[in-house]
Amino acid sequence: MSTFALVDCNNFYASCERVFRPHLVNRPIVVLSNNDGCVVARSHEAKVLGIAMGVPLFQVRHIVEQYGVVVLSSNYALYGDLSERVTSVLAAAAPRIEVYSIDESFLDLDRLAVPDLTAWCRDLRTRVLRWTGIPVSIGIGPTKTLAKLANRIAKGSQRVEGVLDLSGNPAWTEAALRKTAVGDVWGIGFRWSKMLVNHGIGTALDLRDAPDMWIRRRMGVVGLRTVHELRGIACHDLETEPAPKQTTCCSRTFGEAVTDNVQVRDAIVAFATRAIEKIRTANQVCGTIQVFIATDRFDTAAQQYASSATCAFMTPTADSRSIVAAAIRIFERLWRDGFAYRKAGVLLLDLSSAKNIVPSLFTDEPPQSRPLMKAIDQVNARFGRGSIGLGLSARAAPWRMRQEHLSPRFTTRWHELPVARIDLD
């Protein structure tokens, strides 16, 4: 029998924006996706105004104007840094931790010899708030799915003071399952939720009690695992070591549509370069590269075209020259004149550790690859990303994304540090 806690930061991006700008407290805030397109995070006040997750900003413009909602571009430098601070407080408190996402961690409470888990978690919650400025909620349960569910209820309830423990409490668990809509269960998305409701399964309790065979047939093994977890049978363990990535991706929707081959190619080169940096940082090599380009799928008047293609390397590589050259070759193959492109991306697939690649006689890796790449990474680490590169990517291009409401990177740039003024008069 296990006991998991899920610690989830409340309205994380909005809370981050408030840490160094206290005048934003109690005001409705929305944070936007790249290109300032969709709402990806909302403060409690913004949720109350009826601004939905994921809506395009232009669709809620009237609410924003009427209620003076604060609109901000995503500031990942700030969110990433505050996330690490929260995580480090949690890691110091719990014996084992799984960092699940930028704003969530699972803790293993099994080996924690404390008589009262709820009290311990309330204390942890206070500490995180005091040390980082970020409010969190904590759910406890015998499986990850039940801890998630407990967390949801803890967030929505004033009474429980941010912590709900469902472990070893069948009556509370049943009540919690009954008041949770099936679509709010971890692992049940939009489609499955619709399908389940159509079959009379409206709550988490209904789902828990659904027959195995039926679930297996309609939702596969993945869905069946979720049902077992609702019954208290743990199917997902804590993953304390992040599994090495199998793929990495860099893609963007362009700030505006692009018809010029050279400009899209520049974007592809930039995306490939960024993706390669990611795998080299993780000390990985890639076996296959995939490139895709696409027109604007929302522009129904425009001619649509989307295509992708892959290329396998003879030897897995992390060499910028090989990978960028392959990206350009694939791109030229995909390119069709006469379309307005709006999105493109580069995926690096079949990733593996750089340590155990077997050198091949027929390698396509240029000589001196490793020391050269290391030198490039070191220069960029010291003087900033993009200081040195292949001389192929344009600095200013129409496809660069829009970020018109960006807040300062308070904690990671010297010239953007918050300033406290004390009035001595």
Partner DNA sequence: TCTGGGGTCCTAGGACCC
Binding of DNA by 220 (CB under 7 A): yes
Binding of DNA by 191 (CB under 7 A): yes
- Return d(Cα 314, Cα 326) in angstroms, integer: 12
- For DNA, the closer of residues 205 and 272 by Cβ is 272
Binding of DNA by 403 (CB under 7 A): no
Binding of DNA by 186 (CB under 7 A): yes
Q: How far is the CB of 290 from DNA (least distance, A)?
A: 7
By CB under 7 A, which span of 157-165, 198-206, 249-257, 373-381 interacts with DNA? Answer: 249-257
Contacting DNA (CB under 7 A), which of 312, 314, 390, 417? 312
By CB under 7 A, which span of 83-91, 112-120, 245-253, 375-383 interacts with DNA? Answer: 245-253
Among candidates 394, 405, 123, which has minimal Cα distance to 263?
394
* Residue 384 backbone zone (phi > 0: left; psi -120 to 50: alpha; other: beta): left
* Token pair 């492109």 in the structure block, residue: 341
Contacting DNA (CB under 7 A), which of 15, 75, 253, 273? 253
Q: Are 6 and 139 in contact (CB under 8 A)?
A: yes
Binding of DNA by 407 (CB under 7 A): no
Q: According to the 3-state scheme, what is the secondary structure of 129-164?
A: HHHHCCCEEEEEECCHHHHHHHHHHHHHCCCCCCEE
Binders of DNA among residues 349 to 368 (CB under 7 A) are: none
Binding of DNA by 308 (CB under 7 A): yes
Q: How far is the CB of 367 from DNA (least distance, A)?
A: 26
Q: Are 81 and 412 in contact (CB under 8 A)?
A: yes
Helix (H) / strand (E) containing 311: strand 306-317
Q: How far is the CB of 297 from DNA (least distance, A)?
A: 9
Binding of DNA by 175 (CB under 7 A): no
**Dihedral (Cα; 337, 338, 344, 350), 10-degree rounding:** -40
Q: How far is the CB of 14 from DNA (least distance, A)?
A: 14
Contacting DNA (CB under 7 A), which of 25, 58, 131, 212? 58
Q: Are 126 and 163 in contact (CB under 8 A)?
A: no
- Return d(Cα 198, Cα 223) in angstroms, integer: 16
Q: What are phi and psi of 124, to 5 degrees?
A: -60, -40
Q: Are 315 and 286 in contact (CB under 8 A)?
A: no
Interface map 93-122 toward DNA (x if CB under 7 A): -------xxxxx------------------
Binding of DNA by 165 (CB under 7 A): no
Binding of DNA by 298 (CB under 7 A): yes
Helix (H) / strand (E) containing 40: strand 39-42
- Return d(Cα 138, Cα 158) in angstroms, integer: 13
Binding of DNA by 307 (CB under 7 A): yes
By CB under 7 A, which span of 87-95, 116-124, 184-192, 316-324 interacts with DNA? Answer: 184-192
Q: How far is the CB of 423 from DNA (least distance, A)?
A: 40
Residue 165 CB partners (closer than 8 Å, separation 6+): 117, 118, 121, 140, 141, 150
- For DNA, the closer of residues 190 and 414 by Cβ is 190
CA distances from 259 to 34, 302, 339 (A): 21, 12, 6
- For DNA, the closer of residues 168 and 278 by Cβ is 278
Binding of DNA by 178 (CB under 7 A): no
Binding of DNA by 252 (CB under 7 A): yes
How many other C-beta atoms are found inside a 10 Å radius of the C-beta of residue 116?
Answer: 10
Binding of DNA by 40 (CB under 7 A): yes
Binding of DNA by 187 (CB under 7 A): yes
- For DNA, the closer of residues 120 and 326 by Cβ is 326
DSSP three-state, residue 71: strand
Contacting DNA (CB under 7 A), which of 73, 290, 295, 320? 290
Q: At what angle do helices 144-156 and 212-230 cross, to 10 degrees?
A: 60
Q: Are 349 and 311 in contact (CB under 8 A)?
A: no
Q: Tokens standing for 78?
A: 């700030």
- For DNA, the closer of residues 118 and 288 by Cβ is 288
- For DNA, the closer of residues 120 and 344 by Cβ is 344
- For DNA, the closer of residues 20 and 399 by Cβ is 399
Write out the residues near DNA by the rule CB under 7 A.
Answer: 33-35, 37-38, 40, 54, 56-58, 100-104, 148, 185-193, 220-222, 243, 245-253, 256, 278, 288, 290, 298-299, 307-310, 312, 343, 345, 401
